[in-house]
């Protein structure tokens, strides 16, 4: 996979995360704005129904982003290996 493809897929996943933020925030607001236990339980149940698939999708996107960020691209420049020389003791050559 080339760097542009990797970056494109990462950006696509980030767009999904951005576009689903509102759904998550709305559910959280309903939970924290609940007055009383009955309303809280109702808000929790509704949130579970409304955003369960969204949460699964977001988790998949985050996992894919992590995978892509760790992936070397086919068109990346090779990284030169640095070999450190150890200093010789005095008198040795």
Domain assignment present for 15:
yes
Domain assignment present for 84:
no
pTM exceeding the 0.75 threshold for the entire prediction: no
How far, CA to CA in Å, does 44 sit from each of 14, 21, 36, 40, 59?
26, 17, 12, 6, 19
Q: Which residues contact 24 (CB under 8 A, 6 or more apart)?
A: 51, 54, 55, 58
Cα–Cα distance, 63 to 74 (Å, whole number) = 21
Domain assignment present for 54:
yes
Number of structural domains in the chain:
1
Task: Average the pLDDT over 8-14 and give the result.
Answer: 97
Domain assignment present for 88:
no
pLDDT at 92 over 60: no
Domain assignment present for 93:
no
pLDDT at 87 over 90: no
For residue 90, the model assigns a pLDDT of: 63
Domain assignment present for 80:
no
Q: Which domain holds residue 36?
A: 3-70
Domain assignment present for 90:
no
């Amino acid at each position: 996979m080339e760097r542009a493809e990797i970056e494109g897929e990462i950006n696509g996943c980030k767009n999904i995360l951005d576009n689903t933020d509102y759904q998550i925030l709305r559910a959280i607001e309903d939970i924290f704005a609940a007055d009383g236990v009955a309303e809280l339980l109702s808000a929790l149940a509704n949130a579970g129904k409304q955003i369960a698939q969204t949460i699964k999708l977001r988790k998949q996107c985050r996992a894919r982003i992590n995978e892509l960020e760790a992936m070397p691209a086919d068109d990346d420049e090779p990284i030169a290996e640095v070999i450190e020389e150890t200093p010789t003791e005095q008198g040795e050559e």
